[in-house]
Each structure stands twice: as structure tokens, then as C-alpha cells.
């Protein structure tokens, strides 16, 4: 037969792939599931790290991952050997190998690299810390930040996540993103300061104000002495791709002078991304 294997054996396909000698096919499936479970637990351990938990003890990692300490210890040892974790005074931190992999993520390579020169321009003109956020699930993720000696200390580090209702970038996402995003955010209005919006009606009015003004602001809503201002960056189909903004201490930035600077930078980022249409 034309399709027969040369030795007369049935050709291998994904449905009849060979299994090791002495192992039944059903046992192989069970082994695959066990391997998947092992992978999931190792990833759960890595998933316990974030900006607020950059260094953790073994017991903290185990608790946050929902694993027994002995199991966490075994996986942590494997991850250290691979380079995914490093042992440091006080526990463990993410290893250099994970950091190198993170640099390959599209959000970092594309948007952040394209935006960096324009963010430098905003920093030069405004002397304020400049942030670039993208939507990440039900939060905004800080993918790039520019700061200088005259801009003061940044409030957040790259990789930080902020709630949509309490950040200027988040309000941009709520104003120009999917309608379901606002519905979902209105159900989780956790207070971060006494000035955080916690009323769904107030949030809806604020989002409508953002649509009218085409920029968003916060005044000590995500943290004390923290004032944010952000504008949208769009894709060719008028879909939001990022929020570009600045953050100040002491008092809000002057909207009349800063928003035009942010809009010019946002349009520059858009052009570099191949965007031809922006709201006027």
C-alpha cells in the first residue's frame, strides 16, 4: 500500500503515538497528566512573585501557591538549579533567566521600546515621572517608566499593577475599552485611600468625564501624595493599546500644559506602531 510504513508497521500519528516498552497507553496518559500537574505547581510557585512580593521566604511562597512546604522546597530547588529563582538573604527572588525571558515579551519589546524616545521627550518638557501602562486582565500593567534626577522618586516600578478605578491609566481603559470592563470594575471598588472612588455611579460619571475630556486624572486615589494624568494611545482601528501619563507629588500637574505634550507623544508612539488614525 502506498501509505504503509516501509517495515509494514502502522505509521505513527498523534492518535497512536508509540509509548515506552512495558508501559500501557493508559498509563502514559496518566503520566502526561501527572507531568502537567508538576508543571502547574512549579508555575504556581513562580506566580507568587510580584512587585509587592519580590523576595519571599519558602513558607510564604508555599502559602501563596497553596502547596505543602516540602513540595515547595523541592520545586524551589529545581527552579534555583534552572535559574528561575535565586536564593538571597531573606528567602528567594526571581532569577536572571526569568528576567531575560521577560525581555522577550511582546509588550516589552514592541510598545515599550517604541514609546521610550517619546517618553523621554515628555520627561524633558514636564520634568515629571512618565509612565506607560497597558491593560492586563482587570488591572493596568506598568510596562515602561522614565524618570530623572529632577523628576523625583517614582511611585511604581516597572511590572507594577494598578486597579482600573484608582489610576489615571485605568480610567482611560474604562473609558475607551470594552463595556464589560466597566461593569466588572464597578463590582470591585476597593478603597486604597480615603479619596478612592468606591461608588459605581460616581465611577460611571468619572468615566464619562474622561471620554469628554480625552484625558484622565487621579488625586491621591491610588496612594497618598500621588497625582496622575494620562491620555490614550490608539491602534489603527481606534482600539486602545496603551495609556501614557505622568505622575506628580504635592499637587496635580497643570492639565492645560501637560495634556498637549502627552498627546503629541501619544501620536508619535501611534505613528511608530503604524497607526494612521487618532481621535482629533
Coil, helix or strand at residue 119: helix
pLDDT value at residue 17: 43
Structure confidence at residue 273 as a pLDDT band (50, 70, 90): confident
The domain spans of the chain are: 37-99, 105-272
Of 5-14, 183-192, 269-278, the range with the lowest mean pLDDT is 5-14
**pLDDT per position as a tens digit, 165-174:** 999 999 999 9
**pLDDT per position as a tens digit, 97-144:** 886 776 566 655 578 889 999 999 999 999 999 999 998 888 998 999
pTM (global) more than 0.95: no
pLDDT value at residue 128: 93
Decide if pLDDT at 20 tops 70: no
The domain 105-272: what is its CATH number? 3.30.450.40
Q: Choose which CATH entry (2.40.10.10, 1.10.10.10, 1.10.150.20, 3.40.50.1220) describes domain 37-99.
A: 1.10.10.10
Q: Please tell me if the domain spanning 37-99 has the same topology as the one spanning 105-272.
A: no
Residues 6+ positions from 116 with CB-CB distance below 8 Å: 144, 146
Residues 6+ positions from 227 with CB-CB distance below 8 Å: 217, 218, 219, 220, 247, 248, 249, 250, 251, 252, 253
Decide if pLDDT at 51 tops 70: no
The mean per-residue pLDDT over the stretch 215-242 comes to 89
More confident residue, 188 or 153: 188
Residue 254: C-alpha distances to residues 52, 168, 228 (Å):
31, 15, 11
Measure the CA–CA gap between 127 and 136, rounded to whole angstroms: 28
Residues 6+ positions from 52 with CB-CB distance below 8 Å: none
Q: Which of 230, 227, 222 is nearest to 253 (CA)?
A: 227
Measure the CA–CA gap between 24 and 135, rounded to whole angstroms: 46
Amino acid at each position: 500500500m502506498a501509505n504503509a510504513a516501509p517495515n509494514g508497521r502502522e505509521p505513527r500519528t498523534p492518535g497512536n503515538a508509540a509509548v515506552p516498552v512495558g508501559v500501557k497507553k493508559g498509563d502514559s496518559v496518566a503520566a502526561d497528566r501527572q507531568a502537567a500537574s508538576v508543571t502547574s505547581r512549579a508555575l504556581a510557585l513562580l506566580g507568587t512573585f510580584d512587585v509587592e512580593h519580590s523576595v519571599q521566604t519558602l513558607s510564604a511562597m508555599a502559602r501563596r501557591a497553596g502547596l505543602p512546604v516540602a513540595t515547595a522546597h523541592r520545586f524551589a530547588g529545581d527552579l534555583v538549579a534552572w535559574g528561575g529563582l535565586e536564593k538571597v538573604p531573606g528567602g528567594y527572588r526571581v532569577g536572571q533567566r526569568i528576567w531575560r525571558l521577560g525581555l522577550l515579551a511582546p509588550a516589552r519589546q514592541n510598545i515599550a521600546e517604541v514609546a521610550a524616545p517619546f517618553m523621554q521627550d515628555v520627561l524633558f518638557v514636564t520634568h515629571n515621572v512618565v509612565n506607560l501602562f497597558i491593560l492586563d486582565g482587570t488591572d493596568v500593567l506598568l510596562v515602561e517608566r522614565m524618570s530623572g534626577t529632577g523628576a523625583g522618586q517614582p511611585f511604581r516600578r516597572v511590572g507594577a499593577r494598578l486597579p482600573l478605578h484608582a489610576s489615571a491609566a485605568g480610567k482611560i481603559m474604562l473609558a475607551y475599552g470594552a463595556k464589560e470592563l466597566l461593569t466588572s470594575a464597578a463590582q470591585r471598588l476597593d478603597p486604597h485611600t480615603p479619596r478612592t472612588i468606591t461608588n459605581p455611579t460616581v465611577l460611571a460619571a468619572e468615566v464619562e468625564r474622561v471620554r469628554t475630556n480625552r484625558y484622565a486624572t487621579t488625586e491621591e486615589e491610588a496612594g497618598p501624595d500621588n497625582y496622575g494624568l494620562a491620555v490614550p494611545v490608539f491602534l489603527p482601528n481606534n482600539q486602545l493599546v496603551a495609556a501614557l501619563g505622568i505622575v506628580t507629588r504635592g499637587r496635580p500637574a497643570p492639565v492645560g500644559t501637560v495634556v498637549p505634550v502627552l498627546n503629541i507623544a501619544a501620536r508619535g508612539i501611534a505613528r511608530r506602531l503604524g497607526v494612521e488614525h487618532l481621535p482629533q
